[in-house]
Amino acid sequence: ETGVTQTPRHLVMGMTNKKSLKCEQHLGHNAMYWYKQSAKKPLELMFVYSLEERVENNSVPSRFSPECPNSSHLFLHLHTLQPEDSALYLCASSQGPDPGRETQYFGPGTRLLVL
């Protein structure tokens, strides 16, 4: 369970706060993903980076801002969130050269509560 790590594991923030979620993968992968997991809903893909370039942006509100400084690290910057943004945010990675055939490896997630 240490291949993909996420910090913090839990976060409570007010709607006017700015915070960042961090993901790090130790698998030598080239693709990284942010997902939102809400209760009783399928996982929603938010962003995908491949070789540090954003390749998917799934109509996510601008109050979520991703950053991928290198292939091992992925951030999700949060600002002026809404209560409906409360969810589990999952990071994942995959090998990268042929993503459609690859298994994704997930981090433990950050449980976010917006008050």
Partner 1 sequence: AQTVTQSQPEMSVQEAETVTLSCTYDTSESDYYLFWYKQPPSRQMILVIRQEAYKQQNATENRFSVNFQKAAKSFSLKISDSQLGDAAMYFCAYRSPNTGGFKTIFGAGTRLFVKA
Tell me which residues touch partner 1 (CB under 8 A).
1, 4, 31, 33, 40-43, 45, 48, 50, 55-56, 90, 98-109
Q: Which is nearer to partner 1, 46 or 114 (CB)?
A: 46
Q: Is 110 exposed, middle or buried (0-12, 13-18, 19+ CB in 10 A)?
A: buried
Residue 69 has phi, psi (to 5 degrees) of -70, -25
3-class SS of residue 15: coil
- Nearer to partner 1 by C-beta: 67 or 80? 67
Nearer to partner 1, 33 or 64 (CB): 33
Closest distance of CB 75 from partner 1, Å = 18
Residues linked to residue 88 through DSSP beta bridges, in sequence order:
37, 111
